[in-house]
Amino acid sequence: MEPGPSAVNYEGSESVCGMPVAAHDPLYLKAYRQSVQNPAAFWEEQANLLDWDRPWEKVLDNSNPPFTKWYTGGYLNACYNSIDRHILAGRGSNVALIHDSPLTGTVRRVTYQELYDQIVLLAGGLAKLGVVKGDRVVIYMPLIPETIIAMLAIVRLGAIHSVVFGGFAARELCSRIEHVEPKLVIASNVGVEPGKVVPYLDILHSAIKMSRWRPPQRNIIFRRDNVSPDTTNLDPLTDVLWSDIQKMSEGERPIACVPIEANDPLYILYTSGTTDKPKGVLRTIGGHLVALVYTLRTLYGISPGHTWWAASDMGWVVGHSYICYGPLCLGATSVMYEGKPDRTPDPGQYFRIIDQYQVRSIFSVPTSFRVIRRADPDISYGRQYSMKSLRAIFIAGEHCDYETKSWIEKTFKVPVLNHWWQTETGSAVTATCLGFQQNLSPPTYSTGLPLMGYDVKILKPDGSEAQTSELGRIALKLPLPPGNMATLYKNEELFRKLYFQKFPGYYDTMDAGYKDERGYIFVTARDDDVINVAGHRLSTSSLEDAVLRHPDVVDVAVFGVPEATKGQVPLCLYIPVENCQKTDAKLSTEIIKLIRDVVGPIAAFRLVTSVNNLPRTRSGKTMRKAMADFARNERVILPATIDDASVFIEIRRALNQLGYAMSAPDPIVAKLLD
């Protein structure tokens, strides 16, 4: 049974920034109040968590909103703060990375000194190829230590990396290469998934062949000898081995870190669903590194020497923030797990890793635990392992149902803490922090309280503030705290329009939610058409664009529907061309293959069938949300502007065929208002 809301009435009680004093930890309220009312003083103190080559001249420069700058005039280097300073402090023998790969049957413990030795060799070779401050380099690699080595070698030189998720197909990789225009690409020859080897190098060759931008330098290819030592597909005209690049600087004095200004770019990361119109989040160095070290300590409860596990990938923002930069800047040990929760080789792997490496906190998505629960509900594989080192499990990226959350807490015997953030913010906006004496049993479905510097408002469409527990648009009052994106790469106009135009003076999260009487934030829905598939954010519009590339498809609608393991999967209803000679089964199979080739297997695109018509408004807008709600058996009230409500008779048939809308009531058409 779901617990009910708090019975305490806080109306009229003393509050701090809208949060009742009686309900929260005084230390949290004191820090939060300072971070909102005097952000410069608060974040100046946190900046001492890093080493600076030159101190800042001004902590906060908000003279040109929304292009807020932090620590202006200060210079630092991300590689130095991640690696060099720990070695100089005598901690070089500490383990920086644990790469645990059931897929290859290997475990690697890489110390800070070993990382340094590999980074300076690669950085030296890159420098000889002409990579300098401000250059862009694309990385297309799996979850291996060499991916982090590549990232840190690039930023050591003051250059900018753009990591592309290894699960993306050639067309997605091509679009990012074309937009970022890198000097070169660093890639692995292969990746590995359960039961198959992914030909990264072949995908890279295909992407560059179709690209309008040809990198001026050859691709640097890391050969995974324990997976596929074969390099017969290496093209000597376009490719060079990683090992050969490192040999270029062997025996030479290690290349020094290049200090860069705090507001210079650290990386560019493309958000999901940007195949045709890339949207590159540009992150600057100074404020981001400060925010990561602060949140790792204060939110996740990690200190130098602790082992921390962010169960994500380097191609996503979580990997950048909390596999690489956060834990390494802090001096912690970061786990890189290359495997699946349930079948590499069994559902006991999460338990084994926690016990074997004494993991203190985990960051994961609810889907991973749903998979474990489905495969081994009685924990027959995991029961043998001890969970004594674990303090908490943090979840994000998708909705976590109450049953799953309860099962995780019962199984792992620690609090399961939901928190909320976006690629754009780089770290959490709301959370429950282990570093404060906060209630570790926050309200069900809440994503926690605002983090330092985030003045979270719930706004109505007219921009006025919503009442307590009233649903609205979640907006963040400017200036945003350190660590948020600085702009969209090559598109400052879209940056202004997309995030700041709707509510002047605020960052529009495009998420819907509400705030309760204690100040807890509840994120209820995404306002745009992005769906979460096992924690991966995918744009339905980009999936539709890909489907429409099929010559036998004339129209399509893709929307998210519930799925027991992945949380949400896309469902596709398409309209074939007139007099199409192919059967529904054959055409649907071709569409599924097309999506796999264009977007990649991460889309989990398998629910596909044809219809004769799609529901639309008279203005021509396809009613995706209505179909998604209908598929979930919810009561649907159609707007009076619908063109033909009888279309839902056929929509029901199609959804029933795929196992959805089995008990959905007939939609009701609303009456036009006078």
DSSP conformation letters of 403-455 = HHHHHHHHHH-S-EEE-B--TTTSS-SEE--TTTT--SSPPTT---EEPTT--
CA angle 558, 492, 532 (to 5 degrees): 25
Q: Which residues pair with 192 in a beta bridge?
A: 197
Average pLDDT of the residues in 668-673: 55
pLDDT score of 226 more than 70: yes
Answer with the residue of higher pLDDT: 455 or 568: 455
- Convert the pLDDT of each residue in 625-666 to its tens digit: 899 999 999 999 887 557 788 999 999 999 999 999 999 999
Please choose, from the candidates 196, 205, 208, the residue with its C-alpha nearest in 3D space to the C-alpha of residue 233: 205
The torsion angles phi and psi of 184, rounded to 5 degrees, stand at: -160, 170
Cα dihedral value 572, 576, 581, 585, nearest 10: 10
**CB neighbour list of residue 171: distance below 8 Å, 6 or more residues apart:** 207, 210, 275, 597, 598
Looking at residue 172, its pLDDT comes to 85
Residue 58, H or E segment = strand 58-61
Average pLDDT of the residues in 573-591: 91
The torsion angles phi and psi of 153, rounded to 5 degrees, stand at: -65, -40
**CB neighbour list of residue 408: distance below 8 Å, 6 or more residues apart:** 369, 393, 395, 416
Looking at residue 403, its pLDDT comes to 74
Residue type, 54: R
Structural domain including 592 reads: 528-669
Q: How confident is the model at residue 282 (pLDDT cuts 50, 70, 90)?
A: very high
Average pLDDT of the residues in 591-604: 84
Average pLDDT of the residues in 284-293: 98
The torsion angles phi and psi of 543, rounded to 5 degrees, stand at: -65, -40
Cα separation, 411 vs 211, in Å, equals: 48
Token pair belonging to 110: 């890489």
Average pLDDT of the residues in 152-168: 94
Cα separation, 99 vs 141, in Å, equals: 14
pLDDT score of 4 more than 60: no
Looking at residue 565, its pLDDT comes to 84
Which of 141-155, 547-561, 581-595 is predicted most confidently?
141-155
The count of other CB atoms within 10 Å of the CB of residue 122 is: 26
Answer with the residue of higher pLDDT: 14 or 583: 583
pLDDT score of 328 more than 60: yes
Looking at residue 435, its pLDDT comes to 97
3-state helix, strand, coil in the chain (%, to 5): 30, 25, 45
Looking at residue 546, its pLDDT comes to 85
Q: Is the residue at 20 inside a domain?
A: no
pLDDT score of 465 more than 80: yes
Q: Is the residue at 95 inside a domain?
A: no
**CB neighbour list of residue 74: distance below 8 Å, 6 or more residues apart:** 47, 52, 54, 55, 56, 57, 261, 262, 286
Task: Supply the mean pLDDT for the chain.
Answer: 91
* Exposure b/e, 561-584, CB count within 10 A at least 16 = b: bebeebbbbbbbbbbbeeebeeeb
Answer with the residue of higher pLDDT: 598 or 263: 263
CA angle 220, 221, 223 (to 5 degrees): 150
Q: How confident is the model at residue 611 (pLDDT cuts 50, 70, 90)?
A: very high
Average pLDDT of the residues in 262-277: 77
Answer with the residue of higher pLDDT: 367 or 586: 586
Answer with the residue of higher pLDDT: 622 or 327: 327
DSSP three-state, residue 332: coil
Q: Is the residue at 585 inside a domain?
A: yes
Q: Is the residue at 561 inside a domain?
A: yes
CA angle 574, 578, 584 (to 5 degrees): 45
Average pLDDT of the residues in 160-172: 89
Looking at residue 670, its pLDDT comes to 57
Q: Is the residue at 517 inside a domain?
A: no
Task: Please enumerate, as own/partner, the contacts of 193-200 that have beta carbons within 8 Å and a separation of 24 or more.
Answer: 193/103, 194/103, 194/340, 194/343, 194/344, 197/227, 197/228, 198/142, 198/166, 199/233, 200/140, 200/141, 200/142, 200/166
Average pLDDT of the residues in 323-334: 98
Looking at residue 11, its pLDDT comes to 60
Residue 71, H or E segment = strand 69-72
pLDDT score of 91 more than 60: yes
pLDDT score of 374 more than 50: yes
- Convert the pLDDT of each residue in 51-90 to its tens digit: 999 999 999 999 999 999 999 999 999 999 999 999 999 9
Q: Is the residue at 50 inside a domain?
A: no
Q: How confident is the model at residue 537 (pLDDT cuts 50, 70, 90)?
A: low
Q: Is the residue at 592 inside a domain?
A: yes
pLDDT score of 393 more than 80: yes
pLDDT cut 70: percent of the chain above it? 93
Q: How many CA atoms lie within 13 A of 630 on its CB side?
A: 25
Write the CATH number for 566: 3.30.300.30
Q: Is the residue at 499 inside a domain?
A: no
Looking at residue 276, its pLDDT comes to 45
Average pLDDT of the residues in 157-184: 93
DSSP labels, 114-171: HHHHHHHHHHHHHHHTT--TT-EEEEE--SSHHHHHHHHHHHHTT-EEEE--TT--HH
Instruction: Please say whether the beta carbons of 149 and 97 come within 8 A.
Output: no
pLDDT score of 619 more than 60: no
Looking at residue 529, its pLDDT comes to 60
Please choose, from the candidates 188, 136, 181, 135, the residue with its C-alpha nearest in 3D space to the C-alpha of residue 165: 188
Q: Do the bridges between strand 359-364 and strand 307-310 make them parallel or antiparallel, or are there none, so unpaired? A: parallel
Let me know how long the chain is: 674
Cα separation, 457 vs 147, in Å, equals: 38
Residue with structure tokens 């197909």?
169
Q: How confident is the model at residue 673 (pLDDT cuts 50, 70, 90)?
A: very low
- Convert the pLDDT of each residue in 227-261 to its tens digit: 988 878 899 999 999 999 999 999 999 999 999 99
Number of folded domains that form the chain = 1
Cα separation, 647 vs 573, in Å, equals: 13
pLDDT score of 527 more than 80: no
